Structures are given as C-alpha cells and as structure tokens.
Structure 1
C-alpha cells in the first residue's frame, strides 16, 4: 500500500518542498496550510490533497486529519513543519507576540500530534517528524522567543519518543540551520519591524547583526536539502531521534554537544559580545 504523509505549513519553505518531493517519490501527500489558495499547483497533482490546517485552530486540525484519512485511507507519517520566528531583543518583544510564538511553534504542534495519535495508535505504527532548528540546540541572541520554543520542542519530542515507542510510533527531530531559499527569513524580518528596541541595545544589536550577516554568507543549504533529510528520516526505518539537516550548523552543534561547557560558552561569547569601547 502507498504510504501517506501529512505535512503542516506546506504552503512555502521546507513544507512545500517536502510535499513536492514526497509526491515525486510516489507518496500520497496531505499538504496542509492556512491558505489553501497557496497550494493550487500542489492540488493539481493526483496524489496530493491540499487542505486547510491552522495549528491555532483545533477544528481545522481535526478536519484536515479526517479529510486525509477519507482520501487515502490512513496516515503513516506526520511532518510538523509549521512555524515562524520572532527576531529582536527580548525586552522589545511583547508578551502577546511571545505567546503567539509558542502557540504556533509548540502548542500548535502538540495539538496536531495529539489529534493524530489515536489513528496511529490504533494501527500500532507511525512516524512523527518535528522540524526543529539549530536554535533548538544552541541559544542565539535576537531570537530568544524562537529559541525557547525550539528548545521546548526538542525536550517534548524526546520525552514523547519514549512514550510512543510502546505504541509502535517513532518520533524524530530534524534540525536545519540557515537556509537561503525559504520565506522564513522574510517573515522574521516582517515580525521584527513591529518590535520596539530600547536604544541601550544599539551597540549590541549592531554587532549581532554583523555576526549574523557573516554566518549568512556561509549558508549554502537549500529547502531541497532539508526536505530530503525529512524524507530520509521518514524512510529509514530506524528509531534515530535527531537529524542535523544542514552543514552550516554542524560546528555549533558539535561545540554544544561534544565540548565542555566552558569551551562552548567562550566560543559563543566571543562571537556575540561587542568589543569594549
């Protein structure tokens, strides 16, 4: 029987590219998104169902899952991809925006997962792939709310993996870094335009932006690269938990996971602390 994948946030970026690649490899694809008009080209494919799913709307989650099962019979893989990033210093970020960050990146992901679990548990099979970030491994300035949501996602995913192993369901985390061909950065910039940063941070912000610009120049991965890692994770039949999806973050991942706390913190502070004077 042909396998079926449900992807959230499939209108752009990793989600859209993953939907295209899964479909090209013969999978049935439930490409879910807030605005289904953005998926018109996907809907033209015979093995793709484009359906509305807003991770902040529980009724839409249930409707998308039910529509996918009605169309394809079952759902084998869930890719929790929907998300966005807030960019700016914490003090200039409103309480409301931080709540929205967690509503989308964490609580919405939890809701989609919870609603699909009875279907997977009944079948004693399934794979859940949560798209995290390098910012779920190491902390970065200017994206504290986003980083917090991804650190929480990582802890939730690991804990959940132990629970669901008893039900034949595997949980996986895909960790991409900076990617040049996604609309994620554009939305982050748009969100930043609504924040208010106290002037005392000007020197720090200027230095941090220069550091990020230098890192951005090293970003060679594409959405296709990340989507392929998602597909590999869905297909490999293993119980592996984490997949680093882009080479640009590997040095910081190794520093965080394989060196001492002192060496790691010295490296990060050197990168993000402005010179005195």
Structure 2
C-alpha cells in the first residue's frame, strides 16, 4: 500500500513549521505555487488564513513545544502524501531586552522554541529520511546566529546554538544522504525583528541603570531598520526554495543585503577588525 502511494505521489513534499505568518507563510505559498505538496504547520490553525484554500497545501497543527503534535503532523503528512522530502524549521521568535531584566522563564522559552523545538522536529523526521536515504533539513537561523546583538543576547544565543547544532549534525547525516542547511536572514522589518526592542515584553523587567544604553541602541536599531533590505522576505523565501532544490552541499545561505557587511567582517577579517566595526556600530556615539 505504501509503495502504491509513493508511486502516485511523485511531487516533492515539504513540511514547514511556523506558517501562520512571516517567512513561513510566504514560503508555504511559494512552494505550493511551484508544484510542491506543502504540509503547512502552526500552533494555532485558526491563523491559517488563505493557506487552506491553496492547491497542494495541507494545514495542520504542530507546536514545537509539544512532542505529540510533532509526531502526529509528520505521520499524518507521510500518510497523506506518501513521503516528505524537506523539513523547514522556521518556527521561532526573538526575545529582546536587557539580559539582567529577563526572567529565567523567558530564557527557557526562547530556547524551547528556537533550539529544542527545531531539534525535536529534526529527531522526529530522521527515521523517515534514513529509510529513504534522502531528505533535507533547512534551519532558519539569522544574522544574529553569527553576530551577538545587544538587547538580543538571548536571541543571538539561541541562533548561535542552532548554527552549531546544524554544522555538527550535517556530517552525521551526510553519511546517509541527508542534507542540513542554514538560512541567515538579516533584520527584515517585516518579521518584526526590531519592533520589540525596548518595548514591553512578557518576562522583562525594566532596570533604570540601563535606560541610557537602551535609548542609544533603540536609535541604532531604528536606523538599521530604515536601511534594511526592502525585498528581504522575497529574497529569504527564494533562498529557502533554492537551498531545498539546488542539490548542493552548501551549508549557509545569507540572502539579504543588510546583513552582508557584518557577516563578511565576522567570517573574513581579523578579530580586531571585526571588534572595531561592531564597536563603531553599537558603542560609538559619533555621527
């Protein structure tokens, strides 16, 4: 029966997490438009919007903090479409604020979603990928996965962890024909990356000693947001599709222009040069 299903479902299938908005929703539409079967998952399927009406798209519940929903979404997706070719760990959010003002619960939640959630989805799909000796795991990181951003130390820490996990895991899985890849978007304003900086957020206490610094960084991020890549979402989802289909062993894809200078400095220059650049960006008060 399984073989018969496999034969009649020759289309590629992608499972995406976090498709209620942002990159996830746009990517689900893009893959569907290009003929893929799409398993569009999210915590609350009432937020699916027009995804339900698109051909080739199946909307289902997956909360990365709930192992049962992960297992069910994968099993039901395989039953429906015969196989899964690509899993995109897109679900995530940014916890912003001064570290000292963040509760331990806020810290735990940031890692539960951005790190442990991606790990749990990955673990759950691997038996299927191993059996097929094929598959691609695409983890949505950030420029903050290579660069530590002030007032985003938790977000950066979670994405640094996702990067290290992906880079180490790729060698294990390559031996079985399975690819692991990372997408590193910049600070796209459409994703709300900058919107919560300095704002009210659950589990964040305001410590007055930091207020001058917070104001300083808020101004810097305002300028960065204004200068960010206006086509960021389109570029990121195109990079997601490219990484899923190009057949390359390339690990990292950094598609937006706004983060390129910092990534270049981080990875291609000396530590003093990088420190000087980030000092000018985050510390210097000169115009």
Using the size of structure 2 for normalisation, the TM-score is 0.92
Q: Structure 2 unaligned segments of length 5 or more: list them.
A: 1-9
Q: Tell me, in whole angstroms, the C-alpha distance in 1 between the residues paired with 2:194 and 2:73.
A: 27
Which whole-Å CA distance do the structure 1 matches of 2:252 and 2:200 have between them? 29
Cα distance between partner residues in 1 of 2:193 and 2:83: 30
252, 257, 260: which one pairs with 1:247? 257
Match of 1:152 in 2: 161
TM-score norm. by structure 1 comes to: 0.96
User: What displacement does 1:41 show?
Assistant: 1.4
Would the aligned equivalents of 2:105 and 2:203 in 1 still touch at CA under 8 Å? Answer: no
Cα distance in 2 between the residues matched to 1:266 and 1:113: 38
Counterpart residue number, 2:280: 270
Aligned counterpart in structure 2 of residue 233 of structure 1, from 235, 243, 247: 243
Offset, 1:211: 0.8
Q: Is contact 1:5–1:79 with CA below 8 Å preserved after alignment?
A: yes
Work out whether residues 30 and 237 of structure 2, in 8 Å CA contact, stay in contact via their aligned partners in 1. Answer: yes
Which residue number in structure 1 is paired with residue 270 of structure 2? 260
Q: Which has the higher contact order (CA 8 A, sep 6+)?
A: 1
The answer to whether residue 100 in structure 2 is matched with residue 91 in structure 1 is yes
CA RMSD of aligned residues (A): 1.6
- Structure 1: gaps of 5 or more residues: none
How far did 1:189 drift? 7.0
Check the 8 A contact 1:221/1:247 in 2, yes or no: no
Q: What's the secondary structure of 1:181's corresponding residue?
A: helix
CA deviation after TM superposition for structure 1 residue 192, in Å: 3.0
- For 1:81, the equivalent position in structure 2 comes to 90
8 Å contact kept, 1:204–1:273: no
SS at match of 1:50: strand
Pairing 1:43–2:46 present = no
Q: Is the 8 A contact 1:85 1:188 kept in 2?
A: no
- Distance apart, 1:275 and its partner CA: 4.4
- 2:208 equivalent to 1:199: yes
Per the alignment, residue 28 of structure 1 pairs with 37
